[in-house]
Amino acid sequence: MPDRTETNNWNSKIIEEFRTHGGKVGGPFEGRPLLLLTTTGAKSGLQRTTPLVYLADGERLMVFASKGGAPSNPDWYYNLLAHPEVIVEVGREKFAAQASVISGEQRDQLYAQQAEQMQSFATYQAKTTRTIPVVALELRKA
């Protein structure tokens, strides 16, 4: 797993490309549904932006706290647990959103749907003993 500095530099490049090209990026995210999630730091109170692939589910956007199958959840997940009011950027649009964790059968169905569309998510779940959280983002026009 890359260290936090490497991850932040990598994310910064994707975020810049996303904003420059209206949500379109190359590399591993090319052609994938990508959003930018801005959370408020659970401890720091600072705003943090993370690029994430998503799954549209009606009016909601679903994101997955996979962290590449690491044994722990990503920082953005803990941030939104502490502060569920988030900002979501899709394409050139920016929305306020409310984040909520999905559990049970609905979580399992959504994760299976994502893993079917993007095989890497099946690999992530196989690499870890934790259940990868699924988070719903309920958008509100800002």
Cα–Cα dist 63/78, whole Å: 14
* Residue 27 pLDDT: 87
pLDDT of residue 141: 61
| Interatomic CA distance for residues 7 and 17, integer angstroms | 15
pLDDT, greater one: 128 or 28:
128
- Percentage of the chain beyond pLDDT 70 is 93
- The proportion of the chain whose per-residue pLDDT surpasses 90, expressed as a percent, equals 86
Mean pLDDT of 41-65: 96
All structural domains of the chain:
4-141 (2.30.110.10)
pLDDT in tens, 90-132: 999 999 999 999 999 999 999 999 999 999 999 999 999 999 9
State the angle between helix axes of 120-127 and 104-117 in degrees (0 to 180), rounded to the nearest 10.
130
